[in-house]
Amino acid sequence: MDKRWLRKTLFYIAVIGISLIVLFPFLWMLASSFKTQVDIISWPPRLIFSPTLQNYRRVFEEQDFLKYFLNSTIVGGLAVGFSLLLGLPAAYSISRYTQQRLAVFILLARLMPGISFLMPWYIVFSRLNLMDSYVALVLSHMLIALPIVVWIMSTYFNGIPRELEESAMVDGATRQHAFLAIILPLSGPGIITATTLSFIFSWNNFMFSQVLSMEKTKTLPIAVYNFVSYAEVDWGGVMAAAVAIMAPAIILTMIFQKYVVKGLTMGAVKG
């Protein structure tokens, strides 16, 4: 009995230890974002301090963060929307006609290094006068979102019995009609998973936006990065900016926790 109690205690110590290591950078970032510059550079680091909102005020008033926030949302939203438009029929076809090669072909876009596409895009988009345009950014972010959509949705469609649309087709419906009227309405959870995950990846993307966007279409990660070089020693402002950029992705994750886990582990685990 005693031994079991000891094991249980050790187990919970381990769990709490792991949780603290995972959480600590977030907590430190959050705490620093409410500290004055004096508190941040004080040595030893201060655990107790009187919180201030001035960092957030500075970030949102002096920088046009709202605009960058909007840009990130527009680019992510459009990229995910168009990816669903292209990806859902493709995923359905991959699932129903077992087009494994096609699945691999689209998955390659997720695996290959983005920079080997980015350099040619830079040349082409410059020639077409599309630098700093939403078109270029949305297209590039679609290459992030589309493989995620296709991968998650083809796995999801595999789990929907073929009999469902086949019985509708016996009744005279075309396959495309059965797809729209029967399969898609059943695909809510899969679509939520694909949408959440691909939006988060687009939201977090740095490299594509760093090259293809300038002042007009600048997204949040670029704004935060520029803010660091511009306000080198303003750690409080930098941390407030870091909180602002992470908050939406973390809130989405909390709301759709189950779906995000499924999406991230799907594919590596059979089924």
Partner 1 sequence: MIRSNFLERHLAILFPLPAIIFVALLMIFPVLYTFFLSFTNWNLTSGMPMSFNGIGSYVRVLSEPRFLHAIGRTFSFTFFAVLIEAFLGVAIALILNRAFVGKSVAKLLLLLPLVATPVAVGIVFNLFYDPTIGLANFVLKSLGLPQGHWISHADSVIPSLILVDVWQWTPMITLIVLAGLAGLSEEPVEAARVDGASEWQILRHVTIPMVMPVILTAVILRLIDALKTFDIIFAMTGGGPGYASETLNIMGFKYSFEYFRMGQSSVILVVLFLIVFLCSLGIMKLRSASEI
- Residues in 128-167 that interact with partner 1 by CB under 8 A: 139-140, 142-143, 146, 150
- DSSP assignment of 213-243 equals --TTT--HHHHHHHHHHHSTT-HHHHHHHHH
How many other CB atoms are there within 10 angstroms of residue 84's CB atom?
A: 19
Helix axes 235-255, 257-265, angle to 10 degrees: 90
The nearest distance, CB 234 to partner 1, in angstroms, is: 11
Q: Which range touches partner 1 (CB under 8 A), out of 40-48, 51-59, 61-69, 181-189?
A: 40-48
The one among 3, 5, 21, 188 contacting partner 1 by CB under 8 A: 21
Query: Residue 182 burial (CB < 10 Å; 0-12/13-18/19+)?
Result: middle
Q: How far apart are CA 172 and CA 169, in angstroms?
A: 5
The nearest distance, CB 61 to partner 1, in angstroms, is: 20
Contact 167, 225 (CB under 8 A): no
Asked whether position 172 contacts partner 1 by CB under 8 A, the answer is: no
Site string for partner 1, 58-97 (x = CB under 8 A): ---------------------------xxx-xx-xxx--x
- Residues in 193-232 that interact with partner 1 by CB under 8 A: 200, 203-204, 206-207, 211, 220-221, 224-225, 228
Asked whether position 15 contacts partner 1 by CB under 8 A, the answer is: yes
Contact 172, 248 (CB under 8 A): no
Asked whether position 188 contacts partner 1 by CB under 8 A, the answer is: no
